[in-house]
Every structure is written in structure tokens, then in C-alpha cells.
A and B are shown apart, each in its own frame.
Chain A
Amino acid sequence: MGPRGSGSQKVVAATPQNVGVLQVGVSESADRRRLADAGLAAHQHRPTVAVRGGGEELLQTLENVVSLQQLHKSNDGTGRAVWLLWGTTPILPSVLALKDLHKHYDDVVALAGCSLQVGKGRMLGFLGPNGAGKTTAMRTIFGLVTPDSGEVTWEDRPISMEQKRRFGYMPEQRGLYPKMRAQEQLTYLGRLRGMDAKEASASADRWLERLGLAERRMDRVEVLSHGNQQRVQLAAALVHDPVLLVMDEPFSGLDPIATETMAEILREEAERGKGVVFSSHQLDLVEDICEEVAIINAGQIVVEGDVRDLKDAAPIRHLEIELDGEVGDLFDTLDGVRQIRSVDHTHTAVIDAATDVRAFLTRAQEMGRLRHFAYTTPSLSDLFREAVR
């Protein structure tokens, strides 16, 4: 299978327990075009759902469905129809689960009841301050760390070596054989995960091509530039077409172009139905590419969920105005102001989420020329700071 699936491919065939028999297709390009035509953006865990006749009733049984829209009905006589589902509950099942993991080293507690789920076709940003337990948690997935208690499961079963070989891993400390040629190294790693020689070699070439390293394929890794070594490292995690990608700080040390490539590939892999979990300190980036985050602090998950939902649920909002002229006592009339910062004509306030700002907007317009007005949910950075305080 290539790094990019064909347009007609339905990647995931799953049976969510709360839905009954359904074929859930993560939107591929063709479906996404239809979604775009309908004026809607596709999200991985709010997927299009293809059902055979009677699907509508079935879909009605889903919990927390916000809206249901039929996108098209097939004419092929199979009764297959595509629906767009908006809901707050992801209907794709989690396949990877970390359940109540505890781990300590001597008197250092690394994990203190860490629980986490990753689903097929979902991209989870795994955040947390240094030493919070991100790497330890990720290592438990591969058995590199054995937890003192708790378990890690894939599709509700303990993870076997055979299953592990179908996962892709990029450790925080990058590691490749420096003296091995890029292509041979990738082929070797593919073969260690059970591919045959031809398959592994073809996949290695495909990834090198995709990452712009086709001409360096026979170079020793040690002579490649830092950025190119990172690309080979990414290919090493992907060469065997894993069903789950676990990446520890994949963006650290990447230049903006490489960051973009990495983000694009992770997104593609998620869209192809892979589970993707990656840790990062680049919160803006995570906010851009992930719908879901989990924040770990002191070995425990303290925040977990859909970024948008988390932001909506946050008790604060950001209010920003740029006003020609004096603001005077404008902000005094606003309820629930927690913090104000003024630079020249720009004023930023953190206010309670419950505060109604419509009256404030009207008054601000009366005060002078209002150049800019923004009322936003807090950024992921704000949520993060709040969560790990």
C-alpha cells in the first residue's frame, strides 16, 4: 500500500459497539470533495458514514448526534448511502487503550494512573511538561517499559509481538545505523517487521521518493544532513505501513518546511484510517493539526478530548479590541474581567465565558473608531497552562 491511498479506497471497516453493523469510511479525497460541495469540512472522528438501507434509523440511535445530513444516495442499487454525521461522541472505536498505568523508578513516579485512548483515523496530540510521563507512556505501548500495574490493549486484547510489528514508532531520541545506506536501512527495518524483501524494498523506495530523498537513497545515513536524517527516521516508522503511529516529539528540530511535510504526512496517515498519537511542545502546531488532545501532568491525564470542545468548555474567553481614542472606563462596564493588558491602542482581556459581550461591543463602537474586535475561546496554550498548573 502506498503512502497515499487511492481515492476510492474505504480504509476502515469497523463495527462500533453502539451502532450495529455499519461501514464507517474515513473521508477520502472523493468524499471530502462532496463534503466541501455541501459547504462542510471533514473531520476524522466526525466521518461520513456509509450505510445500507435502513441506515437512517440506525444512525438515529447514535448518542449525542448533533446533526445528520444525507450527502448522497447511491444509484448502484445496493442501497448504499453516505451520511454526514455531526456528533460530540466519536463513533470510531478506540483501538489502542492505555488503562490506569502506574510506573515508578525507585522513588520517581513516572506514571500515576495514566489512561488514554487512540482510535483508528484519529490524530491525538499528546501534551505535557517535561518529565510528565509522555515518553514512558508511549514506551509502554511497545513493551519497552513494563508498567507496575495497568494494561495496554489493542482492540481489547493485550498487545502481542506480532501486533507490535504493525505499529510504527519514532522514539524521542532518534536512532538509525549511521553507516547503513538509507534505502537498505529502511528495507531492513521493514523486514524486521515481517515484510518480505521485495515488498520492503519497494516501500522503502516509495517513502524515500515521497520525502524527496530518492537521489540520496544509497547514501549512508551519517552523510545526510540533519533534516534528511529526520526524514529517513520518519520513513523508518512508516515503511511497513503500520496501523498505528506512535511518535515522540516528531516535530522537534524540524525547520518550517519539514514541519509542514511531517504534519501533512501525519494527517494523511490519520485520514487513511491509522491511529496517530504524537507528543509535542509546539502547541500552536498541535492546535492546527489535531482535533484531539490529551494533556498529561505528573503521570496522569488531566485533560482529554476534542480541542474545540475543550475550548468551548473553558471557563474563560479572550477579548481583544483595537480602538482609536481613549477607552476610558469602557472595561469597567464589563462583568467578569479577570485580566487586562493594554499595548498602545490594543487591549486584551481575559473574561468569564458567561459574560455577554454584545452590549460591550456596542459601547466600544460608540467610544471611537473600532479597528478590530475579537472574541475567542482560549488558545490551546492557555488550556495547557491551566491544566498543568
Chain B
Amino acid sequence: MSSIRTVWRIAMREIREHGRSKSFLITTTVTFLLVAGLVIVPELIGGGTDLFTVGSVGGGNEPIVTAAEQLGNAANESDAEPSVSIELREFEDRESAGTAMDEGDVDAILIDGSEVIVESVGGFGESSLLSLLQQGAASIELEAAVAQGGQAAADVIEVMTSDPLETTTLTGPEAGEDTRGAVAYAGLLLLYLAVLLYGNWMLAGVTEEKSNRVVEVLLSSVKPWQILAGKILGIGSLGIAQFAGTILVAFLAVNLTGAIELPSLDVGAVANLILWFILGFLLFAVMYGAAGSLVSRMEDAQNVAFPMSMIAVAGFFVSIAALGDPDGTAAVVGTFIPFTAPFVVPVRAALGAIPAWQYIAAVVLTVATIVGLVLVAGRIYAGGLLRFGTRVKLREAWRSADA
């Protein structure tokens, strides 16, 4: 029987057994729901209008509220839904208005156009309302202060509430910087979670075979590298299926809600993510596999995998930095370190901030590192598998394997 067929059969077992395990079905469902939720929920809560109710005692309050409303909606497009809507409710006196505020019916009280009462300063909704009201009152005073009367003051308010500077984006109008950033950030988060999740499957799978000793039966008819390769292939295939499924769910959710303009989630962006998912997964899977072979008990597995998890966390933080400054030193250095590249490069690529030669160099370096790791980790794996009991030292595993 050829080696390829052996590897294939091992991979098929991983796919079948993992694929129908409860943990896989649960993580898949949860990830899909989470991603759909992340896209849909902000759309539901973020896009709407902030509704405020302001109690009014005495006269002179209405112009302030009108001005405040105008200021709150100043940044909106003319045909857009208003961001702020303020309702004015009349009260007989301070006390009745105060009672309404205690009951939460009004957010602020204006008295005679000269005093504002809020529950506290610095609260979340209140402070923005308070500052709107303050600015509104200021504009009314400005109006009064300008001698020429209504029209001039209205012009001043008009000037104050419009954008005096024209805004131009460097990357062109088709995809906003925010949208690209969001896609890059979401992709990074998925990559990071996927590498850790599937890396840990590798770790658990290898340690499990060792802890329940089935590995000795396997090794009586299969070579160590075939088990390692089969596991990586099997778990990797499942991982890619789950990862691609997650992207599809995100895509559908985006499509349904219209949260992000579709052209920004193009084929190139998805291919970029999948390529780096595969590279990142391979890199970490090989390391996690070798780490798993060093321990015989599940309890020890996390300890031995700690350095790998730290590398992934470091990569994550470097790429968060890259998200803010895709051309910065951290981002460029992270591009050329194969352990951080899987996190940094896709972010920079999604932001359109990586020169082609750097992208290619990063792919080549990462692939070369994977090849090197396969050789090293393969030997550690082979040496570690049949040494049961306490944690095997790297050097012992290396030595006890047959070259």
C-alpha cells in the first residue's frame, strides 16, 4: 500500500470522526451564529436614531431644542434618517418635570431657556444630549448677539453645522477605509481563532492517541510521518471547510443587511484569507503536532503548547498594530517573520498596504519555514510518540528518533 494511500486513510478517519463529533458541530454552529451576529447586530442597534425627550418648563426652550437637533444631524447626508431626534414635553413646574425625570420619562429639563437639568454629568446618553443642548443654546445666544437679526444668525448656524472642508479618500471612492479595515479586522480575528482552534485539535488529537496508547498499534503498521501528515491533512480539510463556511455565512449576512458594500468582499480578499489560513494552519499544526507527541496526558498538553499559543498571540498583536499602521515598522518586520506573517500579511493585504514583493517574500519564507518545521517536528514526533509517562524533553525526542 502506498504511503499516499495510508496518509489519505488516516486523513479520512480524522475528517469522519472529528466531523461528526459534538465539539465540531457545536463550534461550527457557534462560529456561524457569532459571525452572523457580529454583522447583523451592529446594523440593528447602530444605525438607528437616538431618541431623546426633553422636559420644558417656561418659555424659550423650543429654539434651543430645534438648534440642538440640527447640530446633531449636521454630519448626515440630507436624505438620510436623522441620527438625533428630540421631543419636547411641557411641564407645569420644576417639580413635576423632576418627578418625570426620576421616573425616566425625560432625559433632561430645560427651564426658561436659561437652565438645564440632567441626572448626572458624564452619563452615556446624557452627556451627548447635554452638549447638543449647550451648543444649541450657544447658537441661540449667537443669534441674539448678532445685531443684523435672524437671517445672519441663521447663516452662522448654517456655516457651523456644515463641513467646511471637502473630504477626499486616497484609495478612491469605491471602498471606504473603514470598510476595508473592518474586513481586515474580521479576517484577522477569524484567522487567529482558526489557527488556535485547529492547532489545538492537532495537539489534542496527537496527545489523545498517545494517552490512550492506540499509537503503538498504529505505529506497528504505519510510519510516524504518515500519521502526522494524515492528521494535518484531515484536520486542515475540516478547518478549511469550517473557515470557508464562516466566510460564506459572513458574506450572506452582509448581503442580507447591506452593512458593508459588497465589492469590498471580493474574490481576491477571500483568496488572500484562505491562502493565509492554509499557511498559518500548516505552520502551527506542525508545531502543535510535535508538541502533542511530547506528553502522555491531556493535562500536560496545554503546558507544552504554551510557547506556540504565545507566538500566535504575539502575531495577533503585531497585526493589530499593522491594522492601525499598515506601513509601520512593526507591520513590515512582522511580514518577514514567518510566525507572525500569517496574521500580519493578510491584514496589510486587505488594507491594500503591502507591496507585491513583500507579499511574495512572505509567502516564500513561510512555506520554507513550514518545510523546515515538517522535518524537525516530524523527527520530534517520531521520537516522542513511544516515550510514555512524564513529559519528554525536546532533545530526548530528537535523539531517540531514527534519523
Contact = CB atoms under 8 A, between A and B. Distances in A.
A pairs with B: yes
Interface of A: 139, 142, 144-146, 161-162, 164-165, 167, 169, 171, 173-180, 188-189, 191-194, 236
B13 A176 contact: no
Given A173-B388, A177-B17, A192-B6, A144 B220 contact: yes
Contacts of A144: 216, 219-220, 386
A178 B213 CA distance: 10
A189 B221 CA distance: 9
B214 interface: yes
Nearest to A188: B13
Nearest to B1: A194
Contact of B212 (A145, A162, A177): A177
12 contacts: A145-B386, A162-B1, A167-B220, A167-B221, A171-B217, A171-B220, A175-B216, A175-B217, A176-B214, A177-B17, A179-B17, A192-B221
Contacts of B216: 144, 169, 171, 173, 175
Interface in B342-356: none
Nearest to B9: A191
Given A171-B213, A192-B10, A165 B221 contact: yes
Interface of B: 1, 6, 9-10, 13, 17, 21, 209, 212-223, 386, 388, 402
Return the 4 tightest CB-CB contacts between A and B, nearest first: A175-B213, A175-B214, A169-B220, A194-B1
Given A173-B213, A173-B388, A174-B213, A192 B218 contact: yes
Contacts of A162: 1
A175 B13 CA distance: 17
Contacts of A142: 219-221
B4 to A, nearest CB: 13
A174 B10 CA distance: 20
Contact of A189 (B209, B217, B223): B217
Given A144-B220, A193-B221, A178 B212 contact: yes
A210 B212 CA distance: 25
B246 to A, nearest CB: 25
Contacts of B219: 142, 144
A144 B9 CA distance: 21
Given A176-B214, A193-B221, 16 more contacts: A142-B219, A144-B216, A145-B386, A162-B1, A165-B221, A169-B216, A171-B213, A171-B217, A173-B213, A175-B213, A179-B21, A180-B17, A188-B9, A192-B10, A192-B222, A194-B1
Contacts, number: 62
Contacts of B402: 146
B160 to A, nearest CB: 68
Given A192-B6, A192-B10, A194-B1, A175 B221 contact: no
Nearest to A196: B1
B59 to A, nearest CB: 77
- Name the residue in A162, A169, A175, A189 with the highest tally of chain B Cβ atoms < 10 Å from its Cβ: A175
A20 to B, nearest CB: 35
A176 B212 contact: yes
B387 to A, nearest CB: 10
B212 A161 contact: no
A179 B205 CA distance: 12
Contacts of A171: 213, 216-217, 220
Contacts of B223: 161
B217 A164 contact: no
Contacts of A176: 212, 214, 217
A146 B402 CA distance: 8
Nearest to A236: B217
B359 to A, nearest CB: 41
B24 to A, nearest CB: 12
Contact of A175 (B6, B10, B21, B212): B212
Contacts of B388: 173
Contact of B221 (A139, A145, A164, A177): A164
Contacts of A164: 220-221
A165 B1 contact: yes
Of A146, A179, A180, A191, which is in contact with the most chain B CB atoms at under 10 Å from its CB? A191
Contacts of B9: 188, 191-192
B48 to A, nearest CB: 48
Contacts of A178: 212
A178 B205 CA distance: 12
Contacts of B220: 142, 144, 164, 167, 169, 171
Contacts of B21: 179
A167 B222 CA distance: 12
Given A165-B221, A167-B220, A175 B1 contact: no
A210 to B, nearest CB: 20
Contacts of A139: 386
Contacts of B1: 162, 165, 193-194
Contacts of B17: 177, 179-180
B397 to A, nearest CB: 14
Contacts of B212: 175-178
A175 to B, nearest CB: 3
A142 B291 CA distance: 24
A164 B223 CA distance: 11
A194 B222 CA distance: 10
